[in-house]
Amino acid sequence: MDQHTPIPRPADEAERLEALRRFAQLDSPPDADFDFLTEMAAAVCGAPCSFVSLVDAERVWYKSAFGKDVAETPRDDDYCSWAILEQERLHISDLRKDPRTANMELTTGPAQYRMYSGANLVTSDGHHIGTLCVLDHSARTLRGEQLALLDRLARQVMNLIELRAKSRALELAYARMEKLATFDELTGLLNRRALLARLHDEVQRCRRQGSELSVVMIDLDHFKQVNDTHGHQTGDAVLRGVGALLRSRIRVTDSAGRYGGEELCLLLPGTGVAAAALLADKLRRAVADTVFRCGEAQVQVTASFGIAAYHAEHAPVAERLIEAADLTLFRAKHGGRNRVELHAPMA
């Protein structure tokens, strides 16, 4: 067979590739557990080389390699591409005498392989995604017990692949749950519980380090009119937009949260009242200058800001700091809105 002749693809090729990618092992980092099984396969079969192979669309990628340092080969130049066409395994005692492999580069080139035995990695829904294979530079036939052990080791490789996928799915699910428990889904800001927890941490840090902390409460002016005039979808778009604006204008050490409804909050560690007021006024102007869009609706809003500053010489609890900022926000609202009001450092 000409070495450039494409190797036939399995009848379930599309589904097989989907199953392969579902496990997310392609191009993954080395894994000692896979390396152990690969080394075991080589020892059981008395072979100098062993691989855990994954047959991708146009390449065979090696999750683990024993005896030869190689990352991947073209699919049409790899014995494993023939192996996945078999029901259980492919065993070729002399690669030079088999028309499928006689002219392949791995047989005729520097590698000079003469024997190949590959046990398929079969998913729970029956797709062949790769092999656990052993290779030798001498032509020979593996004994029945060696082939049986190679099959059992291949099943352990597949079990390990599935275990890694389940562990990764659990980690992603936990991360999603943690995000839902921490962030407000609409604005992407911290939710109230996480915001207050962060505030408690910052107050404790102030006490330990003797640093400053400012809390900025923000309320969108006449927000009810936005919902009444343009609908709640537009109101949500405005809240999302303001949330994105806040995230883009604060430092990585700062925190932004949704305190409730259209009321937002900033925690500015290491920031005194004067610096907090400068930031608040920049944010006030940025909010007023932004056009928020939802479908055909174009909306502009303003916001009022109330600031309470804390210094380590004083020791209010976190709730009092929030209350002071909220009271200052109340003054901003009743002083004409679209303005910044300051509260003195708390005693």
Which sequence positions are flagged as catalytic? 262
Q: In what order do the strands lie in the sheet with 128-136?
A: 72-74, 59-66, 49-55, 128-136, 115-122, 89-92
Alpha-carbon gap, residue 75 to 131, rounded angstroms: 13
**Which residue type occupies 336?**
G
The CA distance from 75 to 158, in Å, is: 20
